[in-house]
């Protein structure tokens, strides 16, 4: 729980998640609020077609910002590692619990654009905008990550997890959105329910 609060403090260097989720005339909001540890856990436990759950997307005046809670389940040793990139979104990951090997960059095979017609396409487009998926053939980087680690993934950089043990890995993603591809004002239904 403490690490989630630390993640929120780190994220606030980039943003403050406001209570007012949209602004008028390009001015940033004047109020801020927290995303509580209970709300993060509620979102992580909510059913989802994909591992990525956008908690909120906020209009910050000159840009939008999204905050997501993600859980990746265990991977199968020796299995191909899926790769995804987001064309317009930077992601800042803060690992909350669990471990894994994060692969980034390099060569990807069978790359294709994610569309709303794909099985999970509509949800992917909602949480990270235009994206491409494939399978890593030769990643540029492999690094072990665990609780407290932070990784910044620029737009267009393929990424995916390997070596995730039983129990999975949970992390928070902060997404600066200068092109406003995330829908400002979005709040995950589990966050709304947790506030009641």
Q: Are 104 and 155 in contact (CB under 8 A)?
A: no
The residue whose two tokens read 């235009």 is 130
Average pLDDT of the residues in 52-74: 92
The two tokens of residue 19 are: 């209570």
**What angle is formed at CA 147 by the lines to CA 65 and CA 187, rounded to 5 degrees?**
30
What does the pLDDT read at residue 47? 86
Global pTM value: 0.84
For residue 25, the enclosing domain spans 2-195
Close Cβ partners of 15 (under 8 Å, ≥ 6 residues apart): 58, 60, 65, 174, 176
**Residue 112 pLDDT level (bands cut at 50, 70, 90):** very high
Higher pLDDT, 183 or 31: 183
CB-side neighbour CA atoms (13 Å) of 54: 23
Predicted confidence at residue 27, as pLDDT, reads 76
Q: Region 36-64: what's the mean pLDDT?
A: 89
- Record the tokens describing residue 12, joined without a space: 């606030």
Query: Could you tell me which residues come within 8 angstroms of residue 32 by beta carbon, excluding any fewer than 6 positions away?
Result: 16, 17, 18, 19
Helix (H) or strand (E) holding 127: helix 121-128
**pLDDT value at residue 93:** 98
As a whole number of angstroms, the longest Cα–Cα distance in the chain is 52
Cα–Cα distance, 15 to 65 (Å, whole number): 8
Residue 6 has pLDDT above 70, yes or no: no
What CATH number is attached to the domain comprising 78? 2.60.120.10
Residue 33 — very low, low, confident or very high, per pLDDT cuts 50/70/90? low
Residue 1 confidence (pLDDT) above 70:
no
Q: How far is CA 177 from the centre of its chain?
A: 12
Can you name the residues that pair with 56 across neighbouring β-strands?
67, 187
Q: How many structural domains is the chain composed of?
A: 1
Name which of 24-28, 148-152, 171-175 the model is least confident about.
Answer: 24-28
**What's residue 29's pLDDT?**
77
Q: List, edge to edge, every strand of the sheet that includes 82-86.
A: 107-113, 131-138, 82-86, 159-162, 100-104, 141-145
Q: Given a cut of 50, is residue 23 above it in pLDDT?
A: no
Residue bearing the bigger pLDDT, 36 or 100: 100
């Amino acid at each position: 729980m403490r690490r989630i609060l630390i993640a929120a403090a780190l994220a606030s260097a980039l943003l403050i998640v406001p209570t007012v989720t949209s602004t008028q005339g390009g001015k940033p909001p004047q109020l801020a609020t927290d995303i509580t540890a209970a709300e993060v856990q509620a979102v992580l436990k909510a059913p989802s077609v994909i591992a990525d759950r956008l908690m909120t997307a906020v209009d910050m005046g000159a840009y939008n910002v999204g905050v997501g809670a993600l859980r990746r389940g265990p991977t199968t040793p020796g299995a191909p590692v899926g790769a995804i990139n987001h064309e317009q979104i930077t992601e800042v990951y803060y690992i909350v619990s669990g471990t894994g090997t994060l692969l980034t960059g390099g060569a990807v095979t069978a790359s294709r654009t994610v569309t709303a017609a794909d099985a999970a396409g509509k949800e992917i487009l909602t949480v990270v905008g235009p994206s491409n998926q494939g399978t890593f053939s030769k990643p540029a980087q492999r690094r072990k990550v665990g609780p407290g680690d932070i990784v910044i993934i620029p737009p267009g950089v393929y990424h995916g997890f390997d070596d995730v043990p039983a129990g999975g890995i949970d992390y928070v993603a902060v997404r600066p959105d200068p092109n406003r591809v995330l829908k400002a004002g979005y709040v995950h239904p589990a966050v709304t329910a947790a506030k009641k």
